Structure 1
């Protein structure tokens, strides 16, 4: 079985760095989770006057208002079969600020009609977007979002997300870059950091509902 990223990238998947192939090649058949731990060098973005409104999104783990430097970070990826019988992978991101723990969660799956990955955002998954995937000449993975939909029906002008990840041999870790930008407001969220990753065995009972912790 090919992973959702392997299906979306096709032959380009073989150009990924071997460690990226391992990470983005997981499927539900392997019965493993990916656990990442590290620190984000800096988390920034959003004009100060608008930032308080982001607290609304923090309840659904879509976005958050806190900003800072050298922020501890964890990532959990679970590969599982969803209610429609399709392969899906959860992204459970946690940022540990001095007075709060914030989430930035998603579930990704492969859409055979569009031949790419769909990203359902937050714990509820009410917001979704289609991702464009590519491989850089250095073997890194680049994902960019397209239009955003609400409840899979209503298209609107929403934030666009760029995710870039590559493997650093020197540190034996993944370098992660994320940029969330709104066409009217500008940068809403930007962070970058180094994440050390391990693969751990799991059982189906250990996988949270929708692959997301509540």
Structure 2
């Protein structure tokens, strides 16, 4: 019997309120022998505020927030369900953005860190961590909210103050008219407004997977701190 995915375990009965296509999309678990790959285009992607783009390069997190911004940006996403080195049920995602002059990567690992709690570890070294809260809208869309963020800098755990930090929200759903999945992610800072966004659609398929993360998907460092 296939085990429940980490999203199923956190959502509980609310999982059944999701659109059927979305239920399948977030049902990957480590024992299924498959991974998912999506191909599509972001109508908007990156930092929409030119004055803030240089500041994004100063964030000590690789393969996360980047200073580029564009429209109709081709992208791929690969999702791998697995157990992390600490035995936690996890989902690692790698997103490749193909801008006109460069390619950017945004990668993270979401882990089940308590019976009903998720922590998302962002970046090549997974040194930006945020709590991940899930909810289901009345029309069956999945909403993900990241209210609390902290940085791991060596042995230091540095909370990002609410006033200085940003609040991230993602929405995912199935568009029956286009028969494509859609995702909209916004990172907002209280004083500055939207500082990072990606909004687009994609098709999705499954491929065989032996449970071992490919070399280009493995993070440079795993993180277990909360």
TM-score by length of 1: 0.91
Structure 2 equivalent of residue 156 of structure 1 = 160
Which of 20, 26, 29 matches 1:27?
29
Residues 213 and 93 of structure 1, relative CA distance in 2, 3 Å threshold: farther
User: Which ranges of structure 2 fall in alignment gaps of 5 or more residues?
Assistant: 222-226
Cα displacement (A) at 1:101: 0.3
How far apart, CA to CA, are the structure 2 residues paired with 1:203 and 1:56?
37
Question: Where do 1:48-127 residues align within 5 Å?
Answer: 48-57=50-59, 60-112=62-114, 115-127=116-128
Structure 2 equivalent of residue 177 of structure 1 = 184
Structure 2 equivalent of residue 42 of structure 1 = 44
How far apart, CA to CA, are the structure 2 residues paired with 1:58 and 1:128?
13
Residues 176 and 58 of structure 1, relative CA distance in 2, 3 Å threshold: farther
Deviates more, 1:61-70 or 1:182-191: 182-191
Residues 57 and 91 of structure 1, relative CA distance in 2, 3 Å threshold: farther
How far apart, CA to CA, are the structure 2 residues paired with 1:15 and 1:179?
24
Structure 2 equivalent of residue 139 of structure 1 = 140
Q: Which has the higher helix share?
A: 1
Cα displacement (A) at 1:156: 1.4
How far apart, CA to CA, are the structure 1 residues paired with 2:217 and 2:38?
19
Structure 2 equivalent of residue 188 of structure 1 = 195
Say whether the 8 Å CA contact 1:58–1:102 is kept in structure 2.
no
User: Which ranges of structure 1 fall in alignment gaps of 5 or more residues?
Assistant: none
Cα displacement (A) at 1:47: 2.8
Residues 209 and 194 of structure 1, relative CA distance in 2, 3 Å threshold: closer
Aligned residues: 213
